[in-house]
Chains A and B, each alone.
Chain A
Amino acid sequence: MVQVYFEDINVGEEIPQLKKNCSTQQLVLWAAGSGDFYQIHYYKDFAQSTGLKGLIVHGALKNAFLGQLLHDWIGEKGELRRFGCSYRGMDEPNQDILCRGVVTKKYQDGGKNMVELDVWTEKPDGKKTSPGTAVVTLPSKA
């Protein structure tokens, strides 16, 4: 795993993207892993009976994708302090979900190198379905 350092990053810069594309099998794995067994995520007839076009991806799974985006970016020496998002739009299985983040602030607090970010998931048309924020720490080179 490549380590990113506090000195290497600047406000306004984007972090490496993470592309996801959920099979229905992944949604079933998530149902089991998270304990969210609501049928709109794996039973198409049920989803349509509630007025949806079809199956939708769990909001909490997209949130966890953002957790992975950040975990993989901060490396072994970084710390994930806070992350989360709002559930603003629906995503479907078998369609790309692009997880992105941009640095909004960097500062030192109590000897820690703090970095704040805007994070989100977006659909192929660029619509942000899960906008959120995050706080991480990064190590110094020195």
Chain B
Amino acid sequence: MTQAQQSVITEEMRAAVGVEGPPVTMEVEKTNCRMFARAVGHSDPIFYDEAAAKARGYRSIVAPPGFLGTPIFRPGSGGGVPGEMGGRGFSIPYKRVLNGGTDYEYFPEVDSICAGDTITARSKIAGFEETEGSLGPMLITKRETTYTNQDGKVVAKMYGTLIQY
């Protein structure tokens, strides 16, 4: 770049950092755990067989790594995973969007996520960054989603990166 690019981060965007969106209810069901595990190719029976999971000390079939429940679908809603691609909707000049990556954090010392759980996901923008990549100037939106189970325990966090360019 020969001259300083003007920032695309607006006052509105700055004000949105740290503000929690509406909570999304996620259901962890046996069949969804099995489907997710099967799609990945897991072989551990704790993801498929309730008796095997209980024998290993779990309450029920275990949610495989990366599975944090299924949002309740309602006709007319977009569906999808809360927070995964969040951060769009602001008025910026970039038209293309990429999911830059996702990190999952678990708190097994608090509780694991098992079939039968109802999880409440709360998502917020953790921050914006601007950078110059091989694709040109980019806006990076960091998003953080906290997953709280039916007992009020935080069982997972998801850190998402959205790239717009």
A interface list, Cβ under 8 A from B: 1, 20, 26, 29-30, 32-37, 59-61, 63-65, 67-68, 70-72, 76, 79-87, 130, 132-133
Q: A96 to chain B: closest CB distance in Å?
A: 14
Which of the listed residues A60, A71, A72 has the most CB atoms from chain B within 10 Å of its own CB?
A71
Contact of A34 among B36, B99, B104, B159 (CB under 8 A): B36
A68-B65, A80-B65 known; A35+B79 contact, CB < 8 A:
yes
> Which A residue sits closest to B71, measured CB to CB?
A35
Chain B interface SS verdict (over half): mixed
A79-B108, A80-B106 known; A26+B65 contact, CB < 8 A:
no
Which one, B11-19, B40-48, B116-124, is touching chain A? Answer: B40-48
Q: What is the number of contacts between chain A and chain B, taking CB atoms within 8 Å?
A: 106
The 4 closest A-B pairs by CB, nearest first: A67-B65, A84-B103, A86-B101, A33-B39
Interface membership of B100, Cβ < 8 A: yes
Interface membership of B146, Cβ < 8 A: no
B interface list, Cβ under 8 A from A: 32, 35-44, 56, 64-67, 70-71, 79-81, 84, 98-109, 159, 161
Report whether A82 and B66 are in contact in the complex, using a CB–CB cutoff of 8 Å: no
Report whether A60 and B79 are in contact in the complex, using a CB–CB cutoff of 8 Å: no
Contact of A83 among B32, B65, B84, B100 (CB under 8 A): B65
